[in-house]
């Protein structure tokens, strides 16, 4: 059975391009690569039977060329209040695996950092 997830909240994103994410509008990146930071707050959400309400998250993203060409990398930062099940849920729904923040990021990442350090 496929995973079930739902997220409702706010998201803020910024990248290194000259104007708001040209790749979102079918244009090429300003400098031939993408460096982005995306943050969010989940007002209401779940992953399968795990509630994600009230959690915060951030993503550091990098693509060496155009996003559509793939080979991107991500580093997820997950709210320290998340329990292990919530952490796994947020890790599983991250954009390089589920594309819940931007449709153009679907399947464009090739590696994800799994290192975690308590804050």
Contact status, residue 44 vs residue 53, Cβ threshold 8 Å: yes
pLDDT band at 29 (very low <50, low <70, confident <90, very high): very high
Predicted pLDDT of residue 108 = 55
Task: Identify which has the larger pLDDT, 119 or 23.
Answer: 23
The answer, yes or no, to whether residue 24 has pLDDT greater than 60, is: yes
Nearest to 73 by CA among 88, 55, 87, 94: 94
Domain locations along the chain: 5-112
Q: Give the tens place of pLDDT for each residue, 9-18.
A: 999 989 999 8
pLDDT in tens, 65-119: 998 888 889 888 999 999 999 998 888 875 444 443 444 444 555 555 555 555 4
Average pLDDT over residues 26-32: 91
The gap between the terminal CA atoms of the chain, to the nearest Å, is 35
**Listed residue (4, 98, 74, 79) closest to 40, CA to CA:** 79
Burial string for 14-39 (b: 16+ CB within 10 Å, else e) reads ebebeeebbbeeeeebeeebbebebe
Instruction: Report pTM.
Output: 0.75
């Amino acid at each position: 059975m496929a995973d079930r997830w739902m997220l409702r909240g706010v998201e803020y994103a910024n990248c290194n391009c000259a104007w708001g994410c040209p790749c979102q509008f079918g244009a090429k990146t300003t400098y031939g690569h993408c460096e982005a930071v995306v943050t969010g707050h989940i007002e209401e959400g779940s992953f399968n039977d795990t509630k994600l309400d009230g959690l915060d998250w951030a993503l550091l993203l990098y693509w060496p060329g155009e996003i559509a060409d793939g080979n991107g990398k991500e580093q997820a930062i997950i709210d320290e209040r998340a329990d292990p099940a919530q952490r796994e849920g947020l890790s599983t729904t991250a954009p390089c695996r589920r594309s819940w923040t931007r449709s153009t990021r679907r399947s464009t990442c090739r590696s994800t950092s799994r290192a975690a350090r308590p804050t």
